[in-house]
Homo-oligomer: A and B are copies of this chain.
Amino acid sequence: MARAAVLGSGSWGTAFAKVMCDADTTTTLWARRPEIAQAISQRRENADYLPGVALPATLLATTDAREALSGADFVVLAVPSQTLRDNLAAWVELIPPDATLVSLMKGVELGTLKRMSEVIVEVADVAPERVAVVSGPNLAKEIAAEQPAASVVACTDPARADAFADACMTTYFRPYTNDDVIGCEVSGAGKNVIALVCGIAEGMGFGDNTMASLMTRGLVEIARLGVALGAQARTFAGLAGMGDLVATCASPLSRNHSFGQKIGRGMSMEEILAGSHQVAEGVKSCRSILDLARKHAVDMPLTEHVERVLYEGLSPQAMVASLMARERQSEAIPH
């Protein structure tokens, strides 16, 4: 039976550890805080991140990374994106020599603009084909509730993709394999900005046409960036692209969405930030995505307009007028 270490006990790490147990993979969840590891071992619950979800009796939990990683075939990384570099550095010596390293994380590293798999390859000093990525329409709370969902396991080594997909397939979680790691990661990083602009539109009172138009044109510009970075265009029409984007933009639970709604209703960044302790991911990543786009001479009108609304005082009304007045063009979907 395959063995997995899931490193990071936030909501997605915990939900994914449950998925792997349910797929009959021997799974150990590493938590930074002893009280979380204890509560999982003793009460089968992670009350901070997945309250009310009964975790499998087979799920092991520990704060000892050595224990978690010992004999692991799969090392599943689920720490906050911006802490990956430091966390992974501490674990590198403990990772079994042929283990597959799997990223559940999204976004790009601030400063370096590197994707999560690039950080992994660099810090763990492993060949890129040992790194896989899981991405798709996978809101943790719904996965934990065993609602049916599909997802992508991407790895340039098809045998590793298959092995990991087998290790996480259950009656409610259906992984599809793909060899395009770059495409899956660029989708995951770009979608938050589009969720933000959908939120803005909803805050302004617009309905399903506007949302769907923004999602579609948003995905086209993300795909354009992805292709410039080496991705396959078709990945963006898949579960890690369209699937994740649609789930994120539709979910009222998404912080990007609710942040955008407040902007659309006329609140300023400062007013919103004064009233909340967490910044939406799209607010943070917007400028990194634009930096990447400019570096590769890719046109991303929606992302650019969001940046102007957030940081340059453009009103949501002026944003809409400016977007709609752009010169007419062909769809020009990358392929």
Contacts and interface: CB of A to CB of B under 8 A. Distances in A.
A286 B231 CA distance: 35
A147 interface: yes
A171 B321 contact: yes
Contacts of A331: 152, 176-178, 235, 238-239
Contact of A216 (B207, B216, B239, B335): B239
A223 B237 contact: yes
Contacts of A219: 237, 242
Contact of A211 (B206, B250, B329): B250
A237 B333 contact: yes
| 10 smallest beta-carbon distances between A and B, as pairs | A137-B212, A212-B247, A149-B209, A216-B243, A150-B213, A234-B335, A212-B246, A237-B237, A234-B333, A176-B331
16 contacts: A148-B210, A150-B213, A150-B216, A152-B331, A208-B246, A208-B247, A208-B250, A211-B250, A212-B242, A212-B244, A212-B246, A216-B238, A217-B239, A233-B237, A234-B334, A335-B335
Given A148-B323, A216-B242, A219-B237, 15 more contacts: A137-B209, A137-B216, A142-B206, A143-B209, A148-B206, A150-B216, A171-B324, A171-B325, A177-B329, A177-B331, A178-B330, A211-B247, A216-B238, A220-B238, A335-B335
